[in-house]
Amino acid sequence: MRRTALLVSAALLTGLLPLASAGAATGAEEPPPVPVDRFEGEVPFASQPAEGLVTWGGDSDDPPELELAARDDAPEGDKVLSGTYDISGYGGFTHDFAANEPGHDWSAHKGIRFWWDGKNTGKRVNFEIKDGGANGEASELWTTSFTDEWTGWHQVEIPFTDFAYRTDYQPVGGIDQNLGLTEMWGYALTLPTGTPGTFAMDAVELYGKADPALTTKVLTGSSVYPVKEGGTAGVRISVATTGSAPLAEPVTVAYESAGGSADAGTDYAPVKGEFTFPAGTASGATHTVSVPTLKDKAAEPAETIPLKLTVTGAKAPAETPQVVIDAHGLPYLDTKLPVKRRVADLLSRMSLEEKAGQMTQAERNAVGTGGDIAAYDLGSLLSGGGSTPTPNTAAAWAKMIDGFQLRAQATRFQIPLIYGVDAVHGHNNLVGATVLPHNIGLGATRDPGTAEKAGAVTAAEVRATGIPWDFAPCLCVTRDERWGRSYESFGEDPALVKQMETVVQGLQGARDGKDLDRDDKVLATAKHFVGDGGTEYGSSTTGSYTIDQGVTKVTRQELEAVHLAPFQEAVDRGVGTVMPSYSSLDIIGDDEGPVKMHADAAMINGVLKDRMGFDGFVISDWQAIDQLPGDYASDVRTSVNAGLDMIMVPSAYKDFRTTLIDEVKAGRISGKRIDDAVSRILTQKFKLGLFEKRSVDTSGAAAIGSAGHRAVARTAAAESQVLLKNAGGVLPLKKSQKVYVAGSNADDIGNQTGGWTVTWQGSSGKITDGTTVLEGMKKAAPGATISYSKDASAPTEGYDVGVVVVGETPYAEGIGDVGNGNDLELTPADRASVDKVCGAMKCAVLIVSGRPQLIGDRLDDIDALVASWLPGTEGDGVADVLYGAKPFTGQLPVTWPKSQAQLPINVGDTAYDPQFPFGWGLTTLRTPPGGGTLTLKALALAAAAAQKAGSAEAGRAVVGKARLLVQQKVGQDITPAVAKPFADADHLLLSGRYADAVAKLTEAYRAA
């Protein structure tokens, strides 16, 4: 049925309506519809700067397939926009207007409408419009949705008043967060996920007369106005218009203090009145209503005074502003009292509902503007990976968190929120922050001092944006490089992980927590308790993951020695929080089978809290309790009774809090368990000084991404480079050489920084500020000839040496698991670059990756090979060692396998035949000593003396000399007889057994 037939039907129906109704629908003041898309071919499939339709998605499979299809039943014209989709992540399509033309003016209309061919799927389709800014990809996004709940063609009408500003993602943002409608750049639809589907739409157009409320709004300066008892609050009320035009009509605001927990006449002087913004008033004009509070000399919790507003002639504020008389005179507010007494006093005053709120952590996007913070007494918010304010600046982070903390002041006891973020290698969610090497690279440095400085830089930059809590460090011991989180580990040896836990002091400061209230320290999180690095390949039941979130099957002895040992070290260092793992633990011989860690009371209550003496609080992982068997009530009580103190329920915070309260009231969770959990949480909040520091201290913001912080990251990057092979002394390069640079990772800051950078998964390209490896090389040798050809397609003649930088593209967690669309092989393009360059000249190959890459079949053709790990934003550090400004000193933190079939392969294995053993790493710092076995005998005596004296510095130096001697003799002839004792020696060195380490190195020397 064509649209003409539909319109005839509509006319017939109109004839049956009362005249008043028909007149309202077709009044003379209604402007005619304005077409946006007819889908007859007038708008092509194109991308900016041209006008066009474009598809997009989370990965290569997610964008829908679109066509302009001829249909006899098209509602308008002959064709419709038709599409198919099968989306696992996210996907949809956009109509962007031409970027080289002015934006469109939609302000005269009520809304936007279109015809949709319904399939009655019950699925929600998100519809957004692009407002203001420079173009369609640099605009504000305003969103709403409709549900496909009909069959056949249906006209969907969406008033502009239905659109809300997107808080989860903005391409730029910060324009004005006001739906102006005068500079529109198009629209977009996000299609349903999870199941394949088809759709068709037609005739997108603007309809109706503009709602006056869209062009004129009354706003309040804040939702909450805290004031000390006896003070006067000034509630700011302003008027704003689209395009900042003066008011066309007067706007009247009546106000009255009414309701709330404060008593009129006792706690405050009631106010009531009215004022008018006359026609011609400038947009942004403000009127202040004063609300005086009274002193009654009694110690009291906070009390609220809502100021009810009635607006005529404009859209009223979305919320009623509240004046809050601050809590005062109560012991928990007394900074002179010990933290323990302050906690006990506050806990004694709290209701079960308030306690349950403290145990609840929501994601920032789920709470929107934050009204639910007070409504549900929420204790914590977090930013998931890539969940950032708009714009993504330090100032915007601080403003956002101040806004959320202001909401918490509207609660009875004004308990501040504790805001958490995954800053796992610097403040990695913030564009422009210093991004350090991932933990795998820090493990390669073997330098606890560097790890501590890295933690300190991270803490300073995170706290300067208002965030007091970091979900780091990961203390996993990675035992299988097929794991997508391998790079989050310091290495495969628990002794190495323990050595690098100085990062905890970098983050938190003193072990007793006395530094936590400093503006450059944050609360740290030891994760993931326990065994996440030991999961068996193929054991995961999470989606398409192969190993992440799987089952760790170990003997109790192996559990203690490998996986638990780093957590005891963290507890001894005073770590403030611990996060359990998604994975399950199956202890061989206990006959219990796999137990999800979020339900493992024996490990959390028994081992972590009781035996280890952990006195901080336990925070769940993202929606992790949803993976427990049973219904939701069972998930809640099992996890809380197992020892979890705060539960990360990103969007399910209402359901969680209600269920927790119900479980306590039913007696299935004890009040004692709740009090223990809340006490632990409040203790850390007091230590962090959150009760005293109600707003963000941004004094440290100037240091974010500063030269000093980047110098620390640069040093860490340099120390993390592991020289695996250096035939003929190709490295370091000479500034006089002509250098041919190639490879996918030579000039890509996104690939260089890896996952957990700006977004959860990270991404390729120029995603943040920093220096690529190529840029670093050009800075290190400014007068040298350095040419770059990403795919090595440029001619190779006339160069002295080639540098090929290859490796992985970013990923995070199980999405990076081998077997989940990933392997450990170089891409065909990278292999081709290596083959071409190394076949034409002497070459050095750098592998930028989060785990070893299989290179054995090309090793003989490569002169120098460097494990470059994921060095972060400071490619200068890589250039420093390439050009000899700093020496290569890094050592392998994991075993480098010959083939994927060898995995898992780790130091200590009975059968051990790697490409490069754990601890391997050539150096350009010093020449290996001569003297062979005689020198080793002398070093053995020196090592024994150092061990007896307890001199770690001397012991490491002695073993280091022996290691260099062995590596020089071995060269590339690394046999199993050499590899096993060599790796064992490194483990012994890390364990402080210097004499035994030299003995093992002597064994390796004799086997070479």
Question: For residue range 980-990, what is the model confidence (pLDDT) as tens digits?
Answer: 999 999 999 99
Q: Do the beta carbons of residue 739 and residue 799 sit within 8 Å? A: yes
Q: How confident is the model at residue 128 (pLDDT cuts 50, 70, 90)?
A: very high
Residue 237, pLDDT score? 98
Task: Name the active-site residue from 131, 229, 488, 621.
Answer: 621
Query: What is the token pair recorded at 671?
Result: 């009040």
Q: What is the arithmetic mean of pLDDT over 820-828?
A: 96
With a pLDDT cut of 70, the percent of the chain lying above it is 96
Q: How confident is the model at residue 18 (pLDDT cuts 50, 70, 90)?
A: very low
Q: Do the beta carbons of residue 160 and residue 112 sit within 8 Å? A: yes
**Per-residue pLDDT tens over the stretch 897-950:** 999 999 999 999 999 999 999 999 999 998 899 999 999 999 999 999 999 999
Q: Do the beta carbons of residue 564 and residue 500 sit within 8 Å? A: no
Question: What is the spatial distance between Cα 116 and Cα 154, in angstroms, rounded to a whole number?
Answer: 5
**The pLDDT of residue 25 is above 80:** no
Residue bearing tokens 């208002």 = 466
Catalytic residue list contains 813: yes
Q: Do the beta carbons of residue 721 and residue 878 sit within 8 Å? A: yes
**Per-residue pLDDT tens over the stretch 531-544:** 999 999 999 999 99
Q: How confident is the model at residue 108 (pLDDT cuts 50, 70, 90)?
A: confident
Question: What is the spatial distance between Cα 937 and Cα 163, in angstroms, rounded to a whole number?
Answer: 78
Q: Do the beta carbons of residue 331 and residue 341 sit within 8 Å? A: yes
695 contacts: CB under 8 Å, gap ≥ 6: 402, 405
Please state, rounded to an integer, the average pLDDT across all residues of the chain: 94
Question: What is the spatial distance between Cα 83 and Cα 39, in angstroms, rounded to a whole number?
Answer: 13
Task: Name the active-site residue from 76, 813, 830, 984.
Answer: 813
Question: What is the spatial distance between Cα 241 and Cα 239, in angstroms, rounded to a whole number?
Answer: 7
Question: What is the spatial distance between Cα 893 and Cα 987, in angstroms, rounded to a whole number?
Answer: 10
What are the C-alpha distances in Å from 519 to residues 290, 336, 394, 463, 504? 34, 20, 14, 6, 16
Higher pLDDT among residues 249 and 472, named by residue:
472
Residue bearing tokens 């950032």 = 388
Residue 60, pLDDT score? 81
Residue 11, pLDDT score? 33
What single-letter amino acid sits at 978? V
Residue 7, pLDDT score? 34
Residue 212, pLDDT score? 64
**The pLDDT of residue 20 is above 70:** no
Nearest one of 386, 329, 956, 436 to 710, comparing CA atoms: 436
Residue 167, pLDDT score? 76
**Per-residue pLDDT tens over the stretch 305-358:** 999 999 999 989 989 999 999 999 999 999 999 999 999 999 999 999 999 999
155 contacts: CB under 8 Å, gap ≥ 6: 75, 113, 114, 115, 116
**Per-residue pLDDT tens over the stretch 198-227:** 999 999 999 998 876 667 889 999 999 999
Question: What is the spatial distance between Cα 684 and Cα 660, in angstroms, rounded to a whole number?
Answer: 22
Q: How confident is the model at residue 173 (pLDDT cuts 50, 70, 90)?
A: low
Question: What is the spatial distance between Cα 457 and Cα 950, in angstroms, rounded to a whole number?
Answer: 31
Q: Which of 163-177, 242-256, 476-490, 837-851 has the lowest mean pLDDT?
A: 163-177
Contacts 24+ apart (CB under 8 A), 272-281: 276/250, 276/251, 276/252, 277/239, 277/247, 277/250, 277/251, 277/252, 277/253, 278/247, 278/250, 279/246, 279/247, 279/248, 279/249, 279/250, 280/246, 280/247, 281/239, 281/246, 281/247, 281/251
What single-letter amino acid sits at 45? F
Secondary structure string (H, E, C) spanning 564-610 = HHHHHHHHHCCCCEEEECCCEEEECCCCCCCEEHHHCHHHHHHHHHH
Residue 905, pLDDT score? 98
Q: How confident is the model at residue 391 (pLDDT cuts 50, 70, 90)?
A: confident
Q: End-to-end distance of the chain based on CA atoms, in angstroms?
A: 84
Residue 3, pLDDT score? 34
DSSP 318-362: SS--EEEEPPBS-GGG-TTS-HHHHHHHHHHH--HHHHHHHTEEE
**Per-residue pLDDT tens over the stretch 509-534:** 999 999 999 999 999 999 999 999 99
Is the peptide bond preceding residue 530 cis, with omega within 30 degrees of 0?
A: yes
DSSP 517-540: TSTT--B-EEEEETTGGGPPTT--
Q: What is the arithmetic mean of pLDDT over 638-644?
A: 98
**Per-residue pLDDT tens over the stretch 294-320:** 998 899 999 999 999 999 999 899 899
Question: What is the DSSP pairing of strand 34-37 with strand 151-159?
Answer: unpaired
Query: What is the token pair recorded at 309?
Result: 């507003």
Residue bearing tokens 């020696």 = 985
Catalytic residue list contains 984: no
DSSP state of 238: E
Residue 345, pLDDT score? 98
